[in-house]
């Protein structure tokens, strides 16, 4: 085993940190978070420097690197500013579907836009009340000549309203008796007739990006909209979740580290009862716990990212990484807020949005309950 | 056995109040959250219907009701899932200082207005650089002739913008012992030299007009001093039991509110095969654990309320409750969001507001770390 | 307020019992732990001094005292930090079956001996392959003529070796509904066909003679049936409230015993500079948290005991307490060992025995998982 | 980064697992655990196969491998049987002092015996009431001609009574005003006059090894007994703890994995209420938690072992690994006992001693409170 980053990985990490340090303005960030505005200029610069879509092939403006490098960037950006980091790293969650399963035409159509910051993408898989799996989705795509007609609704889609394309998971054989109903994945352009959206309002975190409920009302799409094979939708969605779980986990590690950095700075400066907060023994216990959690979460997340790039990541390790890192981010950010006391509760200091963003990452694409389902399915699922 | 003796009158009061909340509060909460303040008119409505200062003596214009009415108000207000109309802070934290320590004339002057809602009160203790450390207070009060001149600033003041009357803690700059240097004063809105600072923007409590207050050569009449000079620290300590108890009580009611919502969500949300989430055993057990903790918390809280009503010194147990209940509220709110899953990402889910609002409970009225220090000391550790 | 009304008589009883434990139990515990059993003579001593079956009616030879005396016995026995002399299981779990369901003659025959300690009792419910699943019981009882023939085996029977009298649950092989198939019988030591199996070696409870019991064509008189035929399940359910309550009660007392020991250790152990461990804030807060949890648990437990004494149905709350208290006991015991550090590696540290003994509490009398299932059902989830 | 084991590491792991599978007899193990007997024959075989002292240089009968390989062996053995594993892996805790700081004569004298199973060693550092650090030790070693006279007592020394040599940490300048008192480390042979011991009885776990209180009453040792430099004792003891913390952490991972294996087997077989325990949804949640903890603990421990072998392990990462792995072992073994129900509480099944051994590892050489002290010292210690 070798736990050291390669030279080029260290360079990427340094570059991302330097970029965040140079471009993220604390006050502007706090304001944008509050107002739910998108940092468009910063995205442009991030794209110019190649941070977005670094895992894309070169012909689609990527650097042909791996999930590992993508994770290093995510971690560095979120460490500097949790909301800004999420905003920059989650412009293209649907792009992974295209990248991993799309055909050449689809890649050409969508990937360069994601990499140069002109296109936001969205995944619209889940629906209300499907429990832990996606088998019960009600959105249908029915064959109509060469193409398809899509009907349904998808609640609370991240980037809803701003995305140029939606990856929509649909039932394509709703009448089938098959206990594993046939699902397929479609890339539906935002300007497709019949697609509409309604802003979903502020969220618990990640407020620089938009979110909306998406309505698909007799949306007609051509055969070229099908991503991957007909009937492969569930597998593709799961694979996409798997990659995103690791990416979110890396973001969570960044959030945890950023909250920790701020807490450590604060308790080294701030005095209470005549001594630095950091000199209180309870601070020692808390800091030791926080640091330990960050170390084990980061190490696990790196392992998951490495496994993905080595072609051997299973659902269970991805889910473990997501659950562990998100819970670490939450616990660390919680204590950071507590160290700051009353100030920690105000939006003047950053720790409160690190805490909310940690909860966002914890819930987004499945809370711990969902992750446990995925893990146990791998271990015990065969038993039934 | 019933630890607390609710009578028919209590129940009737609760029903009236619940109806009031449904009518006058809940429909407006979103609006107030956006405005970061509640209109003064709703305080007056609440006063007019008899829900403010229930515990203040009749002789001074209060309702003279027992402390259980305060508990009922805390419960029903918690169930409105907002914090702007901080009636409990007003009726059960601030006004009791006036009742206990105000001169006769002062009581007669202010308490009727506090009861009617014409006077909204706030307590100003915390300072920007002092945090939990009362001994580090820098706001000064110098008594000259029949007046007192106040200089300094306060922060994190609940009802700060709306307040018509502020109970202020300030230091005697000449006193040597920092624990025998603090006095309490009443400062009216409009007194020259008393200015509001910024309204604080926060992670939660968005309908609450939490603010900074500034005092610059602010002069008030000497009769507005509460109790003896330099005895403020003792008075604060004396009243902290009830303040911290109300924190624990509010946390307990929030926990119950959240558990009910989580149970209801899990019973009514079904998976694709019609199985409710509550029948998934892993989630079912979480609900059971949440209900159990809520039940344990309820018993602990009721016992403490009963002891408090008997006039017992339960300062140690109250500090325990303050951190135990507010910590549990964090855990419960987090678990509830997990049960909602992605649906809990959006603020349109009311439990997101609960989660945000509750985060301050382990911080204010003495952080939970301070509570543990106090319990440790009182336990001879 | 005092939730439980301890009188001077209760206090006197407790003092006598504590003295008895100091004299007759604590000096011998190590010996009994090594022997994996307590001598029958100590049961007789305990009976002779009036500490067994305090709650059984005077008319049948019991002491006719209120349930608080049972709570006192549980507390004082817990403080002996051993489990061999399982007086609570005898007096408050097994004998109540005889009191409630025994025929007049049966009660007169056995209860005086149970009270004097001449008869040690056990309850035999669990079977090797059934675990918590009563419906899977395979031990059969066939009533023929005036006799009952019993065949089968039982395991994890507390007081199994010492027991002179066993309350046995067995199935009617002809009954169709497994929940209306179980009857309860009294089997005396020495009955042909009733054999003890191995004494079980365990992680803890080392002075406890937990054993397997075998019944092979074991014939007992029909009058030894408790209550109606095939109503055993209902009787078990009826008595489970008290059994589970006693689990919670014992866990609570163990928690208090451990917290006291941990506090005392941390106050008296100093570092090289003379600073006691309890002054290290990280440890100090742990002690405060342990004390607080113990206090919360005490209030919850007392309320439940009071309700139980009033005859209320608190089955749901008792199941909550069973898992809440026994889970807390695990956490508390673990934290205490951590505070002792390496000194807690050796069994000569009494808290190691507490830690080992307590581990079974979340397992027996219905695992904590079963408790959660029951609470969930009773809560309509 | 590369999270895969090398070929030779995989072989070592396989060999250790195969050895444990072939040589550890479950019933014999349960009996030895109960009776506190040492598995001398098994140790002999383990030594013959080179598992003990694998990190020693070849001239001292080692394989010149690293802490990483030592950890892999520890993990594999403890996984198969927690008590047997600890018994085989902890015969020589004092040997690390000699290996890392001893002179050639000391290495020649002691290391081969450890590697061939004829010598047990012990560390006798801690004393009652020294709080979190070792600065307040009362045992003294006073200069006496060329040699030293040692007086003091060391409680609860693992291998006390069976060890051939004790690594004794002593004050060598007790009168000094130095706030960091001068300590030195001595290798004291068991047959030194004045050294006596008293059996400390059974422990919470690890009961195949002995433990005793050690009394040093005017024990005279020669100058060749001093390990490392005079005054370097504290640093050497800390370094020894650091290596042992990682080793204990690996043992904890093995214990966790072994308890998990047994739980998983059991719930796949055992029925309750007409279905397999593993089919209950709460089992899914528990197993997911257990598996996740094991993964993050193992990954962190491997990283610490790798860091040691790369010469860059700091005290804090070693402490994090120890704390995380021990708490994982405890939590996992606790749930394993719970899955087994009443059987889990009996000594017929192995999970109960896995649980006790987990608590042993958790407490041995410092509970979480001590580890937090070490971690926080690295982070906040400079502040004061």
Which residues of C are catalytically annotated?
A: 243
CA dist A363 and A203 (Å) reads 11
D-chain residues near B282 (CB < 8 A): 281-282, 284-285
SS3 at position C349? coil
| Alpha-carbon separation of residue C124 from B302, C107, C357, D212 (angstroms) | 40, 19, 20, 42
Length of chain A: 384
Asked if residue B185 lies in contact with residue B168, where contact means CB atoms within 8 angstroms, the answer is yes
Q: What is the mean pLDDT of residues C106-114?
A: 97
**Residue D384 in this model has a pLDDT that exceeds 80:** no
Whether residue D144 sits in one domain with residue D66: no
- Output phi, psi for A128, to 5 deg: -65, 135
Give yes or no on whether C8-119 and C123-228 have one common fold. no
CA dist A72 and A55 (Å) reads 12
Whether residue D105 sits in one domain with residue D128: no
Q: Which own/partner contact pairs does B172-176 have at CB distance under 8 Å and 24+ positions apart? A: B172/B140, B172/B141, B172/B142, B172/B229, B172/B230, B173/B140, B173/B142, B175/B230
Whether residue D260 sits in one domain with residue D367: yes
- Report the number of secondary-structure helices (H) and strands (E) in chain C: 12, 8
What's the total number of domains in chain A? 3
CATH number of the structural domain B8-119 = 1.10.540.10
Q: Which two tokens stand for residue D95?
A: 């040997």
Query: Which of D284, D319, D320 lies nearest to residue A372, judging by beta carbons?
Result: D284
Torsion of the alpha carbons at D344, D345, D350 and D352, rounded to the nearest 10: 110
A-chain residues near D287 (CB < 8 A): 375-376, 379-380
- pLDDT tens string B171-212: 999 998 888 999 999 999 999 999 999 889 999 999 999 999
Whether residue A325 sits in one domain with residue A222: no
- pLDDT tens string D237-251: 999 999 999 999 999
Provide CB contacts within 8 A for A197, sequence distance 6+: A157, A160, A161, A212, A213, A214, A215
- CATH number for position D34: 1.10.540.10
Asked if residue D338 lies in contact with residue C367, where contact means CB atoms within 8 angstroms, the answer is yes
**Residue D178 in this model has a pLDDT that exceeds 70:** no
Asked if residue A174 lies in contact with residue A231, where contact means CB atoms within 8 angstroms, the answer is no
> Nearest CA of chain B to the CA of D282: how many Å?
4
- Chain C contact residues (CB < 8 Å to A): 280-282, 284-285
Whether residue D165 sits in one domain with residue D143: yes
| DSSP category for residue A2 | B
Asked if residue C207 lies in contact with residue C37, where contact means CB atoms within 8 angstroms, the answer is yes
Nearest to A159 by CA among A210, A216, A92, A84: A210
Taking the Cβ of residue C30 and every Cβ of chain B, the question of whether any pair is shorter than 8 Å is answered with no
SS3 at position C140? strand
**Residue C277 in this model has a pLDDT that exceeds 80:** yes
pLDDT of residue B132: 64
CA dist B199 and B211 (Å) reads 4
Residues pairing with C211 in the sheet: C157, C199
Domain termination site, one of A197, A230, A263 = A230
Whether residue D128 sits in one domain with residue D77: no
**Above pLDDT 70, what percent of chain C?**
99
- pLDDT tens string C302-338: 999 999 999 999 999 999 999 999 999 999 999 999 9
CA dist C231 and C226 (Å) reads 9
Whether residue D298 lies inside any domain: the answer is: yes
Nearest to A112 by CA among A44, A41, A59, A191: A59
Whether residue D63 lies inside any domain: the answer is: yes
Whether residue D171 sits in one domain with residue D64: no
DSSP string spanning B311-354?
T---HHHHHHHHHHHHHHHHHHHHHHHHHHGGGGGBTTSHHHHH
CA dist D272 and C130 (Å) reads 7
Domain ranges of chain C: 8-119, 123-228, 234-378
Nearest to C186 by CA among C160, C166, C205, C156: C166
Do B202 and A346 count as a contact with CB atoms less than 8 A apart? yes
Domain termination site, one of A230, A255, A281 = A230
**CATH superfamily for domain B234-378:** Butyryl-CoA Dehydrogenase, subunit A, domain 3 (1.20.140.10)
B-chain residues near A341 (CB < 8 A): 131-132, 363, 367
Taking the Cβ of residue A268 and every Cβ of chain D, the question of whether any pair is shorter than 8 Å is answered with yes
Whether residue A49 lies inside any domain: the answer is: yes
Q: What is the mean pLDDT of residues D121-125?
A: 97
pLDDT of residue D179: 61
DSSP string spanning C212-264?
EEEEEEEEEEGGGEESSTT-HHHHHHHHHHHHHHHHHHHHHHHHHHHHHHHHH
Whether residue D345 sits in one domain with residue D246: yes
Domain termination site, one of D99, D115, D131 = D115
Q: Which helix (H) or strand (E) holds A105?
A: helix A104-116
Q: What is the mean pLDDT of residues D98-105?
A: 97
Task: Say which residue the tokens 């890339």 belong to.
Answer: A187
Whether residue D148 sits in one domain with residue D89: no
CB environment B128-139: b (16+ within 10 A), e (fewer): eebbbbbebbeb
Q: Which helix (H) or strand (E) holds D198?
A: strand D195-199
Regarding predicted confidence, which is higher, C280 or A135?
Answer: C280
- Chain B contact residues (CB < 8 Å to D): 280-282, 284-285
pLDDT of residue B187: 98
Whether residue D243 sits in one domain with residue D373: yes
Mutation pick from D276, D279, D282, D286 vs chain B, by most beta carbons of B within 10 Å, is D282
Mutation pick from C282, C335, C338 vs chain A, by most beta carbons of A within 10 Å, is C282
**Residue D180 in this model has a pLDDT that exceeds 70:** no
Residues pairing with B218 in the sheet: B150
CA dist C245 and C2 (Å) reads 19
Whether residue D159 lies inside any domain: the answer is: yes
User: Max Cα separation, chain B?
Assistant: 80
This prediction has a pTM of 0.97
Nearest chain D Cα to B286, which residue?
D282
- CATH number for position D240: 1.20.140.10
| Alpha-carbon separation of residue B311 from A45, B252, B306, B308, C1 (angstroms) | 65, 21, 9, 5, 10
- pLDDT tens string D267-280: 999 998 889 999 99
Q: Residue D355's pLDDT band (boundaries 50, 70, 90)?
A: very high
**Residue A97 in this model has a pLDDT that exceeds 70:** yes
- Chain D contact residues (CB < 8 Å to B): 280-282, 284-285
CA dist B58 and D335 (Å) reads 59
- pLDDT tens string D59-96: 999 999 999 999 999 999 999 999 999 999 999 999 99
pLDDT of residue D177: 66
The CATH number, out of the four listed (2.40.50.140, 1.20.120.160, 2.40.110.10, 3.40.50.10490), of the domain defined by the range B123-228: 2.40.110.10
Q: Which own/partner contact pairs does C22-25 have at CB distance under 8 Å and 24+ positions apart? A: C25/C80, C25/C82, C25/C85
Which of B75, B76, B243, B256 is labelled catalytic? B243
- pLDDT tens string A15-70: 999 999 999 999 999 999 999 999 999 999 999 999 999 999 999 999 999 999 99
Whether residue D247 lies inside any domain: the answer is: yes
- Chain A contact residues (CB < 8 Å to C): 280-282, 284-285
CA dist D3 and D9 (Å) reads 12
Whether residue A73 lies inside any domain: the answer is: yes
CA dist A38 and A24 (Å) reads 13
A-chain residues near C281 (CB < 8 A): 280-282, 285
Asked if residue D329 lies in contact with residue D11, where contact means CB atoms within 8 angstroms, the answer is no
Whether residue A275 sits in one domain with residue A169: no
CA dist D291 and A366 (Å) reads 18
CA dist A337 and B230 (Å) reads 34
- pLDDT tens string A106-135: 999 999 999 999 999 999 999 987 766 788
Nearest chain D Cα to B285, which residue?
D282
User: What is the β-pairing status of strands C121-124 and C140-144?
Assistant: unpaired
CB atoms within 10 A of CB C216: 13
Nearest to C342 by CA among D155, D244, D202: D155
Per-residue pLDDT of chain B (381 residues; tens, 9 = 90+): 999 999 999 999 999 999 999 999 999 999 999 999 999 999 999 999 999 999 999 999 999 999 999 999 999 999 999 999 999 999 999 999 999 999 999 999 999 999 999 999 999 999 987 766 777 899 999 999 899 999 999 999 999 999 999 999 999 999 988 889 999 999 999 999 999 998 899 999 999 999 999 999 999 999 999 999 999 999 999 999 999 999 999 999 999 999 999 999 999 998 878 899 999 999 999 999 999 999 999 999 999 999 999 999 999 999 999 999 999 999 999 999 999 999 999 999 999 999 999 999 999 999 999 999 999 999 999
The number of angstroms, rounded, from the C-alpha of B154 to the middle of its chain's C-alpha atoms is: 17
C-chain residues near A280 (CB < 8 A): 281
Asked if residue D198 lies in contact with residue D162, where contact means CB atoms within 8 angstroms, the answer is no
Nearest to A160 by CA among A232, A101, A94: A94
Helices (H), chain D: 7-23, 26-35, 40-48, 67-80, 82-89, 95-101, 104-116, 233-269, 281-309, 315-340, 342-345, 351-363, 368-380
CA dist B92 and B99 (Å) reads 10
Asked if residue B230 lies in contact with residue B180, where contact means CB atoms within 8 angstroms, the answer is yes
DSSP string spanning C277-326?
GGGSHHHHHHHHHHHHHHHHHHHHHHHHHHHHHTT---HHHHHHHHHHHH
- CATH number for position A226: 2.40.110.10
Q: Which domain holds residue D202?
A: 121-230
pLDDT of residue D176: 64
CA dist C326 and B235 (Å) reads 41
**Residue A180 in this model has a pLDDT that exceeds 70:** no
Whether residue D161 lies inside any domain: the answer is: yes
ipTM beyond cut 0.95: yes
Provide CB contacts within 8 A for C30, sequence distance 6+: none
Whether residue D1 lies inside any domain: the answer is: no
């Amino acid at each position: 085993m070798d736990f050291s980053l390669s030279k080029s990985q260290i360079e990427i990490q340094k570059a991302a940190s330097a970029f965040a340090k140079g471009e993220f303005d604390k006050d502007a960030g706090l304001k944008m978070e509050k107002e739910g505005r998108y940092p468009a200029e910063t995205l442009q610069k991030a794209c110019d420097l190649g941070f977005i879509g670094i895992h894309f092939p070169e012909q689609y403006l990527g650097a042909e690197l791996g999930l590992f490098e993508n994770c290093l960037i995510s971690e560095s950006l979120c460490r500097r500013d949790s909301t800004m980091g999420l905003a920059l790293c989650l412009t293209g969650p649907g792009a992974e579907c295209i990248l991993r399963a799309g055909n050449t035409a689809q890649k050409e159509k969508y990937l360069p836009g994601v990499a140069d910051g002109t296109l936001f993408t969205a995944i619209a898989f889940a629906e209300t009340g499907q429990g832990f799996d996606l088998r019960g989705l009600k959105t249908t795509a029915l064959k109509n000549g060469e193409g398809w007609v899509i009907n349904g609704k998808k609640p609370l889609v991240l980037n809803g309203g701003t995305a140029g394309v939606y990856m929509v998971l649909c039932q394509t054989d709703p009448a089938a008796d098959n206990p594993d109903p046939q699902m397929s994945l479609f890339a539906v352009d935002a300007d497709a007739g019949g697609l509409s959206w309604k802003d979903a309002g502020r969220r618990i975190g990640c407020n620089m990006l938009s979110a909306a409920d998406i309505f698909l009302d007799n949306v007609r799409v051509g055969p070229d909209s099908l991503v991957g094979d007909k009937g492969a939708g569930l597998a593709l969605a799961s694979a996409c979740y798997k990659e995103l779980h690791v990416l979110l986990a890396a973001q969570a590690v960044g959030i945890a580290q950023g909250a920790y950095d701020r807490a450590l700075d604060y308790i080294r400066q701030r005095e209470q009862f005549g001594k630095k907060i950091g000199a209180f023994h309870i601070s020692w216990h808390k800091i030791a716990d926080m640091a330990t959690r960050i170390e084990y979460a980061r190490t696990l997340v790196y392992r998951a990212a490495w496994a993905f790039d080595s072609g051997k990541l299973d659902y269970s390790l991805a889910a473990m990484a997501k659950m562990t890192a998100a819970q670490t981010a939450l616990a660390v950010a919680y204590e950071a807020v507590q160290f700051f006391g009353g100030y920690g509760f105000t939006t003047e200091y950053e720790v409160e949005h690190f805490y909310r963003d940690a909860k966002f990452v914890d819930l987004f694409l499945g809370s711990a309950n969902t992750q446990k389902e995925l893990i146990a399915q791998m271990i015990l699922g065969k038993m039934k | 056995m019933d630890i607390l003796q609710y009578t028919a009158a209590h129940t009737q009061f609760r029903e009236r109040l619940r109806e009031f909340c449904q009518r006058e509060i809940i429909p407006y909460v979103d609006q107030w959250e956006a405005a970061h303040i509640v209109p003064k008119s709703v305080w007056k409505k609440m006063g007019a219907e008899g829900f403010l200062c229930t515990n203040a003596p009749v002789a001074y214009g209060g309702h003279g009701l027992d402390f259980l009415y305060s508990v009922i108000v805390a419960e029903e207000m918690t169930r409105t899932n907002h914090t702007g109309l901080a009636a409990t802070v007003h009726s059960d934290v601030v006004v009791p200082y006036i009742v206990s320590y105000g001169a006769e004339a002062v009581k007669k002057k202010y308490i009727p207005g506090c009861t009617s809602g014409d006077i909204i009160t706030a307590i100003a203790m915390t300072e920007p650089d002092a945090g939990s450390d009362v001994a580090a207070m820098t706001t000064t009060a110098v008594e000259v002739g029949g007046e007192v001149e106040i200089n300094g600033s306060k922060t994190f003041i609940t009802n700060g913008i709306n307040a018509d009357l502020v109970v202020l803690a300030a230091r005697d700059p000449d006193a040597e012992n920092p624990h025998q240097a603090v006095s309490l004063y009443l400062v009216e809105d409009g007194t020259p030299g008393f200015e509001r600072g910024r309204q604080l923007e926060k992670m939660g409590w968005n309908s609450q007009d939490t603010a900074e207050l500034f005092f610059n050569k602010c002069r008030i009449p000497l009769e507005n001093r509460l109790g003896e000079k330099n005895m403020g620290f003792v008075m604060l300590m004396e009243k902290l039991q009830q303040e911290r108890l109300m924190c624990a009580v509010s946390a307990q009611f929030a926990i119950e509110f959240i558990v009910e919502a989580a149970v209801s969500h899990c019973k009514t949300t079904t998976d694709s095969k019609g199985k409710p989430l509550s029948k998934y055993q892993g989630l079912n057990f979480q609900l059971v654990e949440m209900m159990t903790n809520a039940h344990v918390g309820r018993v602990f809280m009721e016992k403490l309320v009963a002891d408090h009503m008997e006039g017992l010194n339960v300062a140690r147990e109250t500090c325990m409750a303050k951190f135990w209940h507010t910590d549990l509220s964090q855990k419960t709110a987090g678990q509830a969001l997990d049960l909602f899953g992605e649906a809990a990402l959006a603020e349109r889910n009311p439990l997101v507001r609960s989660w945000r609002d509750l985060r301050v409970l382990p911080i204010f009225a003495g952080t939970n770390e301070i509570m543990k220090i106090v319990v440790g000391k009182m336990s001879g550790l």
